[in-house]
Amino acid sequence: MEHIRTTKVEQVKLLDRFSTSNKSLTGTLYLTATHLLFIDSHQKETWILHHHIALVEKLALTTSGCPLVIQCKNFRIVHFIVPRERDCHDIYNSLLQLSKQAKYEDLYAFSYNPKQNDSERLQGWQLIDLAEEYKRMGVPNSNWQLSDANREYKICETYPRELYVPRIASKPIIVGSSKFRSKGRFPVLSYYHQNKEAAICRCSQPLSGFSARCLEDEHLLQAISKANPVNRYMYVMDTRPKLNAMANRAAGKGYENEDNYSNIRFQFVGIENIHVMRSSLQKLLEVNGTKGLSVSDFYSGLESSGWLRHIKAVMDAAIFLAKAIMVENASVLVHCSDGWDRTSQVCSLGSLLLDSYYRTIKGFMVLIEKDWISFGHKFSERCGHLDGDPKEVSPVFTQFLECVWHLTEQFPQDFEFNEAFLLQIHEHIHSCQFGNFLGNCQKEREELKLKEKTYSLWPFLLDDQKKYLNPLYSSKSPKFAVLEPNTVSFNFKKLSNVKIGKQMEFSPRNCYIQFILNHLPSKLPCVLRSKLCCL
Amino acid sequence: MEFSELIRTGRAQAKLLRGPEAPPLRGTLCVTGHHLLLSPGPQATSDLWLLLLRRVDSIEKRVSGDSGTITLRCKDLRVLQLDIEGVEATLDIARSIEALSSLESVITSFPFFYRPKGLRLGDAWHFHPPERYYKRVARETNAWRLSEVNEDFSLCPSYPRAVIVPRAVDDDALARCARFRQGGRFPVLSYHHAPSGTVLLRSSQPLTGPQKRRCAEDEELLRAALAGARPGARGFILDTRSAQAAKQARVTGGGTEAKAAYPGWKRLHRPLERGWPLQESFVRLVEACGDLEQSMDRWLSQLEACHWLAHVKEALSTACLAAQGVGREGACVLVHGAEGTDSTLLVTSLAQLILDPSSRTMAGFQELVEREWIQAGHPFQLRCAHSAFSHARPKHEAPTFLLFLDCVWQLGRQFPLSLEFGEGLLLALFEHAYASPFGTFLCSSEKERCLCEVRTRTHSLWSGLNQPKEQRKLRNPLYVPSPLAIWPSVELQTLRLWQGLFLRWIRPPEPSEVAWEKVWQIVTDKKTEGCEPTVSASEPRL
């Protein structure tokens, strides 16, 4: 509270972003410990969570007052005009402080109280049980077993405690392999396809440099390919562009040498790194946020942002993976540099294409919990939860959600959830209201005692399930109904078109939905409405 | 002339490829006067496959060994490939298709032979003439009258027999007005906006010429239009050319209204693309959509370079401007370009969709198309002679009507509950405007249609579309009538490529078709349950 100087300012104007004439609403602005709240003369409330604020700008003083522009991480942009400059300055300074916290303990999740007792809270955390999920996939079985090597986070700090590995891979092999992999992230099971008996595995890059080898690592890869009784060769997908992977060799890292590993087929898929993605989104938002652009400026801006190209690259990789399993019956090992960004994108999207369970509401939660949270996608750093290194921030998870959105567009009947569900998850990776996305890996989460001090998001989403149901969903599809979004030749075409149009809604999406709501003289549930805009 | 002279060969064995998704079809190929038939043979289960030859836009033949391949690119943007046994047969069939698909004569075209079961000749032809619209206007105001001055099409060959004009102007004055406007298209009422009492008018450019001629009757007509709306009402003349182009038109005898001659009227210029550049934009867009191997960046730059969405944006924003003048400013608006048969109609018809809830119904929209495009003299015969694939030297082709349909589609996407019709109707209109078994889009004006006896000798498209079995495809299950104007967003961020049309034959249709069917089911179930869908206006809360 020490940051708040002014708690209430009256006669503040909120500019309407959608009207061409500069219309505005007049009302009162309140500053609380967690939210900025604007109530207009019709008693309509606009809430902005401090953690959602990406950027606050105080523009030059005008005759009507001092403009304050707030850009949010959920792509909302709010434009206030505060009559007195001193008030504006106070609020500006308070927001600067409040939107960037230095300690986890100051985040909203630690003070958020939905009025539940401890057992309800615990129950909420137990809703998603990954051991249960591996059982559903069909492991452990004769080829795969649970390894206790990382039970105390001794081998790899950023992996979960429970890891599944080939039954024939002994502990010394695992330990040896982990020493040969960046950050100790050795190859482990991500998804097991019961029908095909093929597996998706994930790891980080090998520390191969120009010539180093590691027999244990070679053994482990061989064990993975042997765990597949049908097909003896396996794919190793390096999701980086080849050039980046080569550059890593100079630093003693790199990629697998096909000559040293028997029965592997090595493949680059060329997804750019987090820094490229961050500046791509930045450019995209600039293009989207500018009103009255000419057609050619708009499209060349869209093109030069490269955002759609990156989305296509991620989708391409996931489709490659799904095909390797479905068509060739081969197991696949996926890695990038550290194996927590691009690897998570590709593994999770690939599983989503293969297994219809992940296309349900509960299944999608499980997928995020497994491939993103437990395998150590650095949510806190990527979303900038704390005041930290801005170079670590990157919209990797946002891209994943967008890819899923494209799939829901192409397959309107195959997903149990709708756009609002994806949007809501996107809200909460930044909101810091629930504990799920805090921290960068499981070990850190345990140290923060999140399960005792904060609540889990998933039960709240499940309670609100009705809002997130896709009315067109047909649950009849069998478990392994594979989505084939775009076989390379002509499919990307369609996809790209989906994107072009879609594009626009994604970025100012919340605003867009609200825009539709405001302008539709309609009576249908908004779920159906937003659905149909896309049909 | 006999068709048999043009048919070189009766039949041949062939295999038909209908795009990447559909399975190939084998059978006996046969060319008739109006159709290409493929009969799959006695053992096959599938039905006869039939293609209207007029639908073929371009044809490409290739022979190798003892077989040949014909690629047919259709006006509805579909691409078909025929693999035919025998070189001679291939060449003969190709030549026959070429000759028969480009017949110019109207009265030998298929609509004059088409006699479907369940429809009667003459049905629905009288659904939507201007007389019917006048009845509605007459209920709302007394300032306008129906004039039959163009009874014999002598005043204006491209207008219908009856037009709606200010009551204060008599037929003789109209005749002199007509001589002052290009093609005789004097200002007539396009839409009466009952809430404000103001009107939307359309005409062609005045023939001021280099001497800046004036015409007292024309000035009187526009003055009467203002007076009829409300004493002291203002007017806007919306010229769909740039100020520069309007000025240049004086050299060739055209021009634009002089400010001094029309007190109360203010001139605005909103240049809209027309003619060949618009056709070229269409061709390039279709080309880009057909290129399946390109990278994301190339696709984006091609999409930009073809400018199609820029045209959509311009058309919508100009229509918004006209609608704003009539609906919000309480002013009269006169729209014209040069000839007044293309971009003028685009603007007036879109403005009505924005303002007038009744034009957003199924019947109202059909009436709008009939009144503002067909009766108003949009030269369909010339504009839609060829589509995007044709190699023929272009003469008068322009996809103005397609641009209109695209704009309507954008409206429907932005306001999913406000149009009673769905994408299906727009697609059907696109298809039928370019090639149709019905007579509705034949000829370029009402005068020509009378000469060809289109009304009595062909079936109306409207009677074809309004059959009960077609309804589910054409209607929007989510439609909820609303009395409000729908103001679309024209920002590029909200405009989209009309995939349903431009990628119709490239992407598999099933997912979206099945989804459409499902929406129908949900809505029908809800209705039978008797529960009204409820409002859930709450925004996802934090």
Each residue's pLDDT tens digit, A346-402: 999 999 999 999 999 999 999 999 999 999 999 999 999 998 899 999 999 999 998
In a domain, B126, yes or no: no
pLDDT attached to residue B45: 62
Contact B420, B480 (CB under 8 A): no
pLDDT attached to residue A468: 93
The candidate with the shortest Cα–Cα distance to B270, out of B234, B316, B238, B312, is B238
> How far A490 CA lies from chain B's nearest CA (Å)?
5
DSSP letter string, A81-93: EESSHHHHHHHHH
CB contact under 8 A, B296 and A496: yes
Reduced to 3 states (helix: H, G, I; strand: E, B; else coil), residue B49 is strand
Least confident of A408-422, A451-465, B93-107, B376-390: B93-107
Interface test with A, best of B281, B287, B295, B300 (most A CBs within 10 A): B300
End residue of a domain, out of B103, B121, B139: B103
Please state the pTM of the whole predicted model. 0.86
pLDDT attached to residue B10: 65
Q: What residues of B are in contact with residue A293 (Cβ under 8 Å)? A: 492
> How far A270 CA lies from chain B's nearest CA (Å)?
14
| d(C-alpha A413, C-alpha B190), whole Å | 43
Q: What residues of A are in contact with residue B506 (Cβ under 8 Å)? A: 490, 493-494
Q: Are residues B97 and B223 in the same domain?
A: no
Task: List A144's β-bridge partners, or say none.
Answer: A166
pLDDT attached to residue A49: 92
pLDDT attached to residue B46: 64
Domain count, chain B: 2
Dihedrals φ, ψ of B198, to 5°?
-95, 170
- pLDDT digit string, tens, across residues B314-325: 999 999 999 999
Residue ranges of the annotated binding site of A are 273-274, 336-342
**How would residue A232 be classed by pLDDT, with cut points 50, 70 and 90?**
confident
Q: What residues of B are in contact with residue A516 (Cβ under 8 Å)? A: 414
CB contact under 8 A, B300 and A302: yes
pLDDT attached to residue B304: 85
Of B303, B417, B494, the CB nearest to A504: B494
Contact B397, B383 (CB under 8 A): yes
Could you tell me the mean pLDDT of each successive run of 10 residues in chain B, 542 residues long?
A: 68 78 80 84 70 89 87 90 86 86 83 85 73 87 89 91 91 92 93 91 92 90 88 90 92 89 91 90 89 78 87 94 91 92 95 94 93 93 88 84 96 91 93 92 90 89 87 88 89 83 77 78 73 38 32
CA end-to-end distance (rounded Å), chain A: 47
pLDDT attached to residue A299: 82
DSSP tag of B24: P
Least confident of A267-276, A434-443, B3-12, B140-149: B3-12
A306 and B CB contact within 8 Å: yes
Looking at residues A327-342, what average pLDDT do you find?
Answer: 94
Interface test with A, best of B503, B510, B539, B541 (most A CBs within 10 A): B539
CB contact under 8 A, A299 and B301: yes
**How would residue A509 be classed by pLDDT, with cut points 50, 70 and 90?**
very low
Give the 3-state DSSP-derived string for A201-247, with helices as H, strands as E and coil as C.
EEECCECCCCCCCCHHHHHHHHHHHHCCCCCCCEEEEECCCHHHHHH
DSSP tag of B84: E
Please give the residue that has the higher pLDDT: either A481 or B412: B412
Reduced to 3 states (helix: H, G, I; strand: E, B; else coil), residue B127 is coil
In a domain, B268, yes or no: yes
Residue ranges of the annotated binding site of A for substrate are 273-274, 336-342
**How would residue A525 be classed by pLDDT, with cut points 50, 70 and 90?**
very low
- pLDDT digit string, tens, across residues B133-177: 888 888 888 889 999 899 899 999 999 989 999 999 999 999 999
* Residue carrying the six token digits 């099409």: B153
A296 and B CB contact within 8 Å: yes
A519 and B CB contact within 8 Å: yes
Looking at residues A433-461, what average pLDDT do you find?
Answer: 94
A window 474-503, beta carbon within 8 A of B: 474, 489-490, 492-494, 496-498, 500-501, 503
Contact B185, B205 (CB under 8 A): no
B536, closest residue in chain A (CA to CA) = A525
* Residue carrying the six token digits 């080849």: A242
CB contact under 8 A, B418 and A300: no
How deeply is B302 buried, as exposed, middle or buried, from its count of CB atoms within 10 A (0-12, 13-18, 19+)? middle
Contacts made by residues A294-297, CB under 8 angstroms, sequence distance 24+: A295/B304, A295/B307, A295/B309, A295/B310, A295/B313, A295/B492, A296/B304
> How far A472 CA lies from chain B's nearest CA (Å)?
6
- With a cut of 50, say whether residue A234 has pLDDT above it: yes
Q: How many Cα atoms occupy the beta-carbon half-sphere of B182 within 13 Å?
A: 22
The candidate with the shortest Cα–Cα distance to A331, out of A205, A486, A221, A180, is A221
Percent of chain A with pLDDT over 70: 88
* Other beta carbons less than 10 A from residue B35's beta carbon: 17
Q: What residues of B are in contact with residue A510 (Cβ under 8 Å)? A: 539-540
Q: What residues of B are in contact with residue A288 (Cβ under 8 Å)? A: 493
Looking at residues A194-222, what average pLDDT do you find?
Answer: 92
Measure the CA dihedral A242/A244/A250/A254, to 10°. Answer: -60
pLDDT attached to residue A500: 32
A window 445-464, beta carbon within 8 A of B: none
A210 and B CB contact within 8 Å: no
| d(C-alpha B463, C-alpha A202), whole Å | 62
CB contact under 8 A, B296 and A288: no
A47 and B CB contact within 8 Å: yes
Of A300, A489, A520, the CB nearest to B293: A489
Give the 3-state DSSP-derived string for B143-207, with helices as H, strands as E and coil as C.
CEEEECCCCCCCCCCCCCCCEEEECCCCHHHHHHHHHHEHHHCCCEEEEEECCCCEEEEECCCEC
| d(C-alpha B437, C-alpha B119), whole Å | 13
| d(C-alpha A477, C-alpha A324), whole Å | 22
CB contact under 8 A, B542 and A527: no
Contact B189, B137 (CB under 8 A): yes
Q: What is the domain extent for residue B293?
A: 191-507
Q: What residues of B are in contact with residue A515 (Cβ under 8 Å)? A: 489
Q: What residues of A are in contact with residue B507 (Cβ under 8 Å)? A: 493-494
Asked if the bond preceding A187 is cis, omega within 30° of 0, the reply is no
> How far B263 CA lies from chain A's nearest CA (Å)?
28
Q: Which residues contact A147 (CB under 8 A, 6 or more apart)?
A: A163, A164, A165, A169, A171, A174, A188
Please give the residue that has the higher pLDDT: either B334 or A483: B334
Looking at residues A4-16, what average pLDDT do you find?
Answer: 86
| d(C-alpha B236, C-alpha A467), whole Å | 47
Cα–Cα–Cα angle for B410, B413, B419, nearest 5°? 95
pLDDT attached to residue A415: 93
A102 and B CB contact within 8 Å: no
- pLDDT digit string, tens, across residues A157-173: 999 999 999 999 999 99
| d(C-alpha B245, C-alpha B343), whole Å | 14
DSSP tag of A523: -
A35, closest residue in chain B (CA to CA) = B542
In terms of phi and psi (left: phi > 0; alpha: psi -120 to 50; beta: otherwise), the region of B60 is beta
The residue extents of the domains of chain A are 8-100, 118-510
In a domain, B461, yes or no: yes
pLDDT attached to residue A534: 28
pLDDT attached to residue A489: 27
Size of interface A-B (CB pairs under 8 A): 163
Is A336 an active-site residue? Answer: yes
> How far A405 CA lies from chain B's nearest CA (Å)?
15
> How far B539 CA lies from chain A's nearest CA (Å)?
7
**So what's the ipTM on this one?**
0.81
**How would residue A411 be classed by pLDDT, with cut points 50, 70 and 90?**
confident
Q: Are residues B298 and B436 in the same domain?
A: yes
Of A295, A412, A497, the CB nearest to B497: A497
| Alpha-carbon torsion (B407, B413, B417, B422), positive or negative | positive
Q: What residues of A are in contact with residue B416 (Cβ under 8 Å)? A: 520, 522, 529, 532-533
Q: What residues of A are in contact with residue B301 (Cβ under 8 Å)? A: 299-300, 303
Q: Look over chain A and give the mean of its residue pLDDT values, rounded to a whole number.
A: 84
Q: What residues of A are in contact with residue B496 (Cβ under 8 Å)? A: 500-501, 504
Q: Are residues B331 and B468 in the same domain?
A: yes
CB contact under 8 A, A500 and B303: yes
Contact A238, A267 (CB under 8 A): yes
Domain of B64, CATH number, reads 2.30.29.30
- pLDDT digit string, tens, across residues B368-409: 999 999 999 999 999 998 888 887 777 789 999 999 999 999
**How would residue A492 be classed by pLDDT, with cut points 50, 70 and 90?**
very low
| d(C-alpha A367, C-alpha A371), whole Å | 6
CB contact under 8 A, B539 and A413: no
Task: List B163's β-bridge partners, or say none.
Answer: B147
B486, closest residue in chain A (CA to CA) = A519
A530, closest residue in chain B (CA to CA) = B416
- pLDDT digit string, tens, across residues A106-146: 899 999 988 888 899 999 999 999 999 999 999 899 999 99
B311, closest residue in chain A (CA to CA) = A295
CB contact under 8 A, A528 and B478: yes
* Other beta carbons less than 10 A from residue A56's beta carbon: 18
Least confident of A6-20, A68-82, A504-518: A504-518
Q: Which residues contact A475 (CB under 8 A, 6 or more apart)?
A: A360, A416
Task: List A47's β-bridge partners, or say none.
Answer: A37
Dihedrals φ, ψ of B279, to 5°?
-60, -40
Q: Where are the alpha helices (DSSP H) in B415-466?
A: 423-434, 446-451, 454-457, 461-465
- With a cut of 70, say whether residue A286 has pLDDT above it: yes
Reduced to 3 states (helix: H, G, I; strand: E, B; else coil), residue B488 is coil
pLDDT attached to residue A515: 31
- In this structure, whether the domain defined by A8-100 belongs to CATH 2.30.29.30 is answered with yes
From the list A66, A88, A336, A347, the catalytic residue is A336
Host H or E run for residue A420: helix A419-431
Contact A325, A359 (CB under 8 A): no
Of A49, A433, A514, the CB nearest to B539: A514
Task: List A267's β-bridge partners, or say none.
Answer: A237
pLDDT attached to residue B33: 83
CB contact under 8 A, B542 and A529: no
